[in-house]
Chain A
Amino acid sequence: MWPIYLQSLAGGALIGLAAALYLLVDGRIAGAVGIFAGALQGPSPGFWRNLAFLAGLILGPVLYRAVFGAFPAVRIDASLGALALAGLFVGFGARLGSGCTSGHGVCGLARLSRRSIVAVATFMATAIATVALMNAAGIP
């Protein structure tokens, strides 16, 4: 396929398009953790909309396979225990911080939200520090 930078740019543009579509049609921020949390809360006004978004999200890679013939290559070095810990931090932290990479990153930066700029700078810094510490300690 095409150079990896172009793939990333095109994939990013599609993510931005999805966020724009969700905003312009449904009037909402395409923040993955907020949508995930909304679907977990059970019956609420937005329950089915959140569930529909998540269903689409899971079908996205399936569509990718239909187009390109295979799922994208994935390599996971972290153990299942580490991934469980990662999930707890991600779920709790993104909720407490009112958003994740999509809500604060893709949508918040586009709105020039001060809260999102602070959140993105903060989570980039701690993510970079975490990877550096794990590499220094030899943890995969």
Chain B
Amino acid sequence: MTKQIPQQLPQLGAALLSGLIFGFGLALSGMLNPARVRGFLDIFGHFDASLAFVLAGAVAVSTAGYALSRRLKAPLLDDAFHIPERAAIDRALVLGAALFGVGWGIGGFCPGPGVAALALGLPAAFVFTAAMAVGVLAHDYWRRDRGPAIERAALAVEQADA
């Protein structure tokens, strides 16, 4: 594992840069402010529409990136694109999204902003992110035998390597 790190360095650099631009964009957009996020969700009360522009701007640029990716055989630093191909709309998708929305509504934080807000040193962000980690781990433990076949195959390859 450790000896793979030097070979992965450009990939890691791209991940760091992507995360940095993402986090800067979150800070600029207002998404780090739970009061504004909850204002955006408060369509029956004091609705604040400004955050709709975040999604609009993000999806517009992301759509261009995705369109470009379809003209490439592979990404710059990997052999293939790793894009989910599942198409089934199942109970897990809908139930999971529903639970996620409840949590997003309660706190005004979703995963990216929760992590990025750690930089601000607010106890609230630490509590949220720690609890989110517990939620993720609880889910992954519960569904440890039921993950998608691709993830299981990747795990099998990894264990065979080790």
Write the B91-127 contact mask toward A (1 if CB under 8 angstroms, else 0): 0111111111111111111111011111110111001
- Let me know if A75 and B105 touch, CB within 8 A: no
Query: Roughly how many angstroms separate A72 CA and B120 CA in the complex, as a whole number?
Result: 9
Interface of A is mostly: helix
Are A9 and B54 touching (Cβ within 8 A)?
A: yes
Determine if B27 is an interface residue (Cβ-Cβ < 8 Å).
yes
Check A61 against B61 for contact (C-beta < 8 Å).
no
A-B contact pairs, 17 of them (CB 8 A): A16-B63, A17-B21, A17-B65, A24-B72, A27-B74, A27-B83, A28-B82, A32-B111, A40-B137, A58-B23, A58-B119, A60-B119, A78-B34, A93-B95, A95-B96, A118-B93, A119-B97
* A contact set with B: CB distance below 8 Å: 4-5, 7-30, 32-33, 36-37, 40-41, 43-45, 47-50, 52-64, 71-78, 80, 82-98, 100-102, 104-107, 109-111, 113-115, 118-120, 122-132, 134-135
Residues of B within 8 A of A (CB): 1, 4-5, 8, 11-36, 38, 41-45, 50-51, 53-66, 68-69, 72, 74-78, 80-84, 86-89, 92-112, 114-120, 122-124, 127-140, 143, 154-155, 158
